[in-house]
Amino acid sequence: MTMRDYDLVIVGGGPAGMAAAVAAVGAGTDKDRTLIIERGDHLGGILNQCIHNGFGLHTFKEELTGPEYAERYANMVREAGIPYETGTMVLDITKDKVVTVVSRKGVEQIQAKAVILAMGCRERPRGALGIPGTRPNGVYTAGTAQRLINIDGIMPGKRAVILGSGDIGLIMARRLTLEGAKVDAVFELMPYSNGLNRNIVQCLEDFGIPLYLSHTVVGIKGKDELEGVYVAEVKDGTPIPGTETFWPCDMLLLSCGLIPENELTRAMGASINPLTNGPKADDNLETDIDGVFACGNVLHVHDLVDYVSKEAAAAGTNAAEYIRDGRNSTAGQLGIIPGNGIKYTIPVSFHKGDVRNDISLKFRVTGIYKNASVTVKAGEKTVFTRKMRVMIPSEMQDITLKKDALNDITEDITVEVTE
């Protein structure tokens, strides 16, 4: 088998992979010794099928469609002269950073000094949700329906019900309506929506599509083709017997959460954070495997691509520094613990006395909080506190912890919501 060698191999050519590559080369990594590997036929990742607008407000201060946003970064990759290989899938990565890939050329191996994981995420399918009933045609994840309509030009049905109020489901409620289908309702298990507020307004309210909170699909009817779904009210996460109603439809779209694409990460032996399903990453966005970094949706599910690009740029810069210094940088760390009201944090740890850059600490809350404070503490010492007007689980929060404040600390820190 052929063995090539590169300084930096980036797995995934979506927004995260492209931003990481551009930043790494900008920070000094040799462009000719950097390689982006993408299994699809084009750079751009999931953005290629997101033809709606709303991308890039933070990064470019203008509203772009998904493909336009992706194209800006693809152009940066091309202008920087960074090599990329599409139609090439990474099959395996070892702890020693030997990357095995398959393409039309066959199977090859690449020895890298550093690797950036940027494989994105995938949707939770019906099997993972355990919806009872028959298995007819017409049950799709929202992203599959999006791909069918926006890329393949196939309309999957005429009358839809959507389960889950994640952003993809909300976007697809509008998309299906614009394409002439009837969307009767969106049902959400939780008492709050998991989508961005702007998507609820622009994709549901503007089109008169009702959102039923605390409701779920409890049954599917149809032998070969979907005929309809049974929906029940929910209390404390459990359907209430006797509240079932029948909704006729030929499409059920599932928008019930995204899971980091973590098979490669797991197989190479990186520790997985059970709170995110992505790898555990430190303040350099490095996993607990030396020289392996992660960013974008493979690390944790983001709501806005602008935040993906920002995080990926940091991972790229850190990987460039790692390649230049050749240090073993996974040692000597203190924990960042999610306390009251915090679902998870990124990163999960930081270097004791050796935090090199201010930390962009990202987290999600477990419930809806109004006028509450986020506080970061080391024992009794407050490292950071800020009052937040509103925090909801669907919106990622991002605060900056100053490196000088962290470098004096000798114990784990806890992030918590105080009301």
Ligand X SMILES: Cc1cc2nc3c(=O)[nH]c(=O)nc-3n(C[C@H](O)[C@H](O)[C@H](O)COP(=O)(O)OP(=O)(O)OC[C@H]3O[C@@H](n4cnc5c(N)ncnc54)[C@H](O)[C@@H]3O)c2cc1C
Binding site for ligand X (CB under 6 A): 11-17, 37-40, 45-47, 50, 52, 54-55, 89-90, 118-120, 143, 146, 167-168, 171, 261, 264, 296-298, 302, 304-306, 308
Nearer Cβ to ligand X, position 47 or 372?
Answer: 47
Nearer Cβ to ligand X, position 207 or 246?
Answer: 207
Least distance to ligand X, CB of residue 81, Å: 21
- 173-176 contacts at long range (C-beta below 8 A, 24 or more positions apart): 173/203, 173/204, 173/207, 173/209, 174/52, 174/202, 174/203, 174/204, 174/206, 174/207, 175/52, 175/146, 175/149, 175/150, 176/145, 176/149, 176/251, 176/253
User: Quick one: tokens of 323?
Assistant: 């390649």
- Residues 209 and 51: their CA atoms lie apart, in Å, by 21
Least distance to ligand X, CB of residue 317, Å: 17
- Residues 27 and 290: their CA atoms lie apart, in Å, by 19
Least distance to ligand X, CB of residue 297, Å: 4
Residue type, 174: R
Tell how strand 53-55 and strand 64-65 pair up: antiparallel
Least distance to ligand X, CB of residue 246, Å: 28
Least distance to ligand X, CB of residue 346, Å: 13
Least distance to ligand X, CB of residue 364, Å: 14
- Residues 158 and 148: their CA atoms lie apart, in Å, by 14
Residue type, 359: I
Nearer Cβ to ligand X, position 89 or 240?
Answer: 89
Residue with the closest Cβ to ligand X? 14
In terms of Cα–Cα distance, which of 52, 77, 78, 79 is closest to 63? 52
Nearer Cβ to ligand X, position 13 or 341?
Answer: 13
Q: What is the DSSP letter of 146?
A: H
Least distance to ligand X, CB of residue 383, Å: 29
Nearer Cβ to ligand X, position 11 or 24?
Answer: 11
Nearer Cβ to ligand X, position 168 or 361?
Answer: 168
Nearer Cβ to ligand X, position 25 or 405?
Answer: 25
